[in-house]
Amino acid sequence: MKLTKSTFLTVLMMAFGLIAFAQNKKIEKADLEFAAGGYYQAAELYKGELPKIKNIEEKGRVLFQIAECYRISTNYGMALDFYDKAIQSQYDKKNAEVYFNFGKCLQEMDRLEDAIVQFKKYKERGGIGAKAEAQIKICEEVGKLKKDLPKRRLQAENMEAWNSDAMDYGLTYSSKKFDEFILSSSRKGSTTGAGNDPHYGEAFQDLYTVKLDKKFKGNQAPIPVNASVNTGVHEGAAAFDRDFKNLIFTRCGFDKKDRMGCDLYTAVRQGDNYAAPTLIEVIDRNSDDSSRVGQPCMTPDEQFLLFASNMPGGKGGRDIWYMKWDKKLKKWVELKNLESVNTAGDDYYPFVDDDGTLYFSSNGLPGLGGLDIYKAASTGEMTFGKAEHLEAPINSASDDFAFIMDKKPIIDGELMEGIFGCYFTSNRPGGKGKDDIWRVYELPLVFEMTGTAYNKKTGEKLEGCTVVVVGSDGSTYNMTTDKNGQFSLDRTKVKGETKYSVDITKQNFLGTKDRFSTVGAKVSTNFTQDYFLTPIEKDKEYPMPTVLYELAKWDLLINANGPVPVNSADSLNYLLNILKENPTYIVQLESHTDSRDTNEANKILSQKRSQTCVDYLISKGIEAGRLLAKGQGEEVPREIKAGDRISPELFEEFPIGTKLTEEYINSLTTNEAKERAHQLNRRTTFRIIGFDYVPKTK
C-alpha cells in the first residue's frame, strides 16, 4: 500500500492549475480533495457532478481526474474505464499523459502487450519519447522473464488464508519461534468499520496477528491485536525488537479536515496483548505537522531504528531515515538520512537481515515497474553499497514492497535448511485484494537416480542383479534390481555436489560399471541409465578395463599423478568382482604384446604379465585353482569390437572391425597413431574355461 507516489507533486500542481476550469463548487472541492490525497472522496465528488458538465474539455479533464484517483489508489480496473472515457471525450488531444497512465495501469495488471500499445500512443501524441521507451523496455523485459519463470527455481505463493479483498501488507515476525507474524489490513471488521478512509474509501487499517500451524503452514485467519493498539485511525506497518517484547508500529491520525499525519509508536508486550502505546518523537510536531513517519525496522543489534518519511531534507518523495539508541537517555536520537540508498523517487519499507543486508522498496531505481524490492550490502555502520534489484518472481510489473526473510522455509511439510525464502507485499494479478501478502521460496535441487538392467543378448530385463552405488561423500547403497530390472535412489540419497560410481553384477553375467555426478548441477535431475549385462559363455574371450605395463616390464602400472591417471590394479577389480560373484568359475587370463621384439621374447613377456594378474587376484582372496595364466605374445592382433572398453576418441581413430595387424599399423601415417595402435595390442583379456570349480571348505 502506497500513500504517496513519485508523481504526486506533478499531479498536485496540475490539479491546482485546473481549478479555474471547474464548473461548480463541488468540482472545485473535488480538485482540492485530490490535491490533498483524498482520492476516494474526490472520485465520488467528480462522479456525482459528471452528468452536469456540458463543456467537452472540462468533461474530459474530470474523467481523467477520476481515472487518476483510481490509479493512485491502485484500483486499476476502474481507472482503465475512466481513461478510456477521457480519451473518447478527446482529452488525449490536450494531455497525452492519459495514454501513459493508461499504459501504467495495464502494466500493473500484467497486460504487458496492451501496455506497450498505450506507451507507443503516448509517444505518437507528443509525449516524452525517452519516458515511453523506458516503459516499453520494462514491459519487454518482464515478458521475457515470464517465459523463463518455469525454468527458474523460485516459486511464488499467495498466502490466501491471511489475505482479504482489501489491503493486507507489511508482514513482520512477532515470535522467537518465527511461527507468528503481525500484518496491517483494511479488511472489514476493523476497529472503526468500513468507509472511513478518505484516501481509499475503506476501513481504517488495523494490526492483526497471524500464526503458522505445527507444520509451518499459514492456514489460520488473522486475529486483531488488542484495542490498546488498534484505534479509530490507521495502525500500519510494524516491527519488533530482538526479544519480541516491544512492538513499534505506524499510526496515522486525521484532523477535522481529514488530513493525515503519521508517527511511530511503541507498545510493551503483555502476554498476547500490549500496553498503552507511547509516541516515539522523531520530528518536532510543533514545527512540522504534515510530514509522515512510518514503516519502522530495527537493526538486529538494536542500535538503530530505520523508517520511511517525507520530512524535509531528503532526496525525494519518501526517504529512509534512521536514529540511534541512546542507552543513557533511553530514547532514539541523532536523526539522519540514509543517503547511501535513497533516490529522487520514493524509498520505503526498510528491513535489515541478520547479516546486515538492507532490503527496501523504491520506484527511483531501474526495475520492472511500480515499487520494486532491492538489497544493499552493509559497508559499515549504517552505510550500504550499490542497490541490487531482486529477481522475478519477487519483483513484478506491479508494486512489490515490505520484504522480510523467511526464517523457516518449509516445503511440503519439511524444513529446508539453507533454502532461500521470503515474504513481501504485492498488488500483482492473482491476489485476493488490492495488496496481498506473498511468499517466494527456492525450490530445492532434487536429484534421483533410476537404472534398468538388461540381458545384452536377448534384451530381457534382468531381475536380481546386485547393485552397489558409492558416493564421494562416503555413502554406500546396496540394492537388487526388481522384476522390471530396475533399481532407484530417491532424493534423500542422491545429494548435490557429489560424484557416484555404479557397479552392477549378476551370476553368469559379465557385470558393468558407470558413473554419474551432481557436481555443478543447476537444475533438478533424475539420472536414468540402461545397463546391459553380457551372459557369460565358455571359452569366449572377454575384454577388461585396460591393464597397462611399462615397456618390457610386467609389473602392474600405477601412475595416479601422470597426465593420464592409470591404475591397472583397479582394472583387474572388474574380473575380481566377477569371480567373487561366481565362485565356481575357472578363468584363464591371457596377455598380449605388440609385434615389436621377437615372437619368443614376446611370449615370455606376455606370460609374466598374465602371471602378474593371477598373483594380484590370489592376493585378493581368489583361490589359485581357479586361475590360469597364459601368454599369447604377438600372435593374436586385437580386433576392435563393440563393447570394448576404450575411449570414444580411439573408436573414431580405429573403427569397430579394425584388426590391428602389423601391416595395418605400419600403414598409419604418424608415429603417434602407430604407438596408440601398439598400445591397444598390449592387453590382458580373460576367458572362462570351466563352470565346475568346487570351492575349498574352510
Q: Is 337 exposed, middle or buried (0-12, 13-18, 19+ CB in 10 A)?
A: middle
DSSP string, 660-692: --HHHHHH-SSHHHHHHHHHHHS-EEEEEEES-
Alpha-carbon dihedral 103, 108, 111, 117, rounded to 10 degrees: 10
71 SS3 class: helix
| Average pLDDT of the residues in 119-129 | 92
Say if residue 693's pLDDT is above 80: yes
- What's the pLDDT tens digit per position in 434-490? 899 999 988 888 899 999 999 999 999 999 999 999 999 999 999 999 999 999 999
Res 258 pLDDT > 60: no
Distance, CA of 568 to CA of 547 (rounded, Å): 5
**351-398 per-position pLDDT tens digit:** 999 999 999 999 888 888 779 999 999 999 999 999 999 988 899 888
CA 108 to chain centre: 23
Cβ-Cβ contacts under 8 Å for 697 (sequence gap 6 or more): none
Domain spans, the chain: 8-151, 154-442, 447-535, 541-690
CATH class of 8-151: mainly alpha
Give the pLDDT confidence of 59-85 residue by residue, as tens digits: 999 999 999 999 888 888 899 999 999
- Could you tell me the CATH superfamily of domain 541-690? OmpA-like domain (3.30.1330.60)
How confident is the model over 426-430, as a mean pLDDT? 90
Cα-based distances in Å from 361 to 141, 426, 446: 19, 11, 32
Q: Are 645 and 544 in contact (CB under 8 A)?
A: yes
pLDDT-derived band at 600 (thresholds 50, 70, 90) equals: very high
Q: Residue 669 pLDDT > 70, yes or no?
A: yes
In order of 123, 241, 355, the CA distances from 244 in angstroms are 52, 5, 19
The CA distance from 384 to 347, in Å, is 14
Alpha helices, H only, 587-685: 599-619, 648-653, 662-667, 671-681
What percent of the chain stands above pLDDT 70? 89
> What residue ranges in 212-286 does DSSP mark as E strands?
223-224, 234-240, 246-254, 260-270, 273-274, 278-280
Position with higher pLDDT, 596 vs 646:
596
Indicate the CATH number for domain 154-442: 2.115.10.20
Which of 138-147, 314-323, 527-536 is predicted with the least confidence, judged by mean pLDDT?
138-147
Domains 154-442 and 447-535 share a fold: no
Q: 133-164, pLDDT tens digit by residue?
A: 988 988 888 777 666 655 567 889 999 999 99
- Give mean pLDDT, residues 36-58: 88
The whole-number pLDDT of residue 376 equals: 96
Look-up of cell digits 481529514: 258
Cβ(394)–Cβ(422) under 8 Å? Answer: yes
| pLDDT for the residue numbered 664 | 95
Q: Binning pLDDT at 50, 70 and 90, where does residue 196 land?
A: low
Residue 69, classified by CB atoms within 10 Å of its CB into exposed (0-12), middle (13-18) or buried (19+), is buried
In contact, 258 and 38? CB cutoff 8 Å: yes
Reply yes or no on whether the pLDDT at 605 is more than 90.
Answer: yes
- Which of 285 and 477 is assigned the larger pLDDT? 477
Res 401 pLDDT > 90:
yes
For 447-535, which CATH class?
mainly beta
- Is the model's pLDDT at 257 over the cut of 70? no
Which own/partner pairs from 131-138 qualify as long-range (CB within 8 Å, at least 24 positions apart)? 131/100, 132/100, 135/100, 135/103, 135/104, 135/107, 135/369, 138/107, 138/367, 138/368, 138/369, 138/397
pLDDT at position 423 is: 96
The pLDDT tens digits for 556-573 are 776 655 444 556 777 788
**Three-class secondary structure of residue 317 per DSSP:** coil
Residue 651: the pLDDT is 66
Q: How is residue 557 written as a grid cell?
A: 602400472
CA-CA-CA-CA torsion sign (175, 181, 183, 188) = negative
Phi, psi dihedrals of residue 586, rounded to the nearest 5°: -115, 125
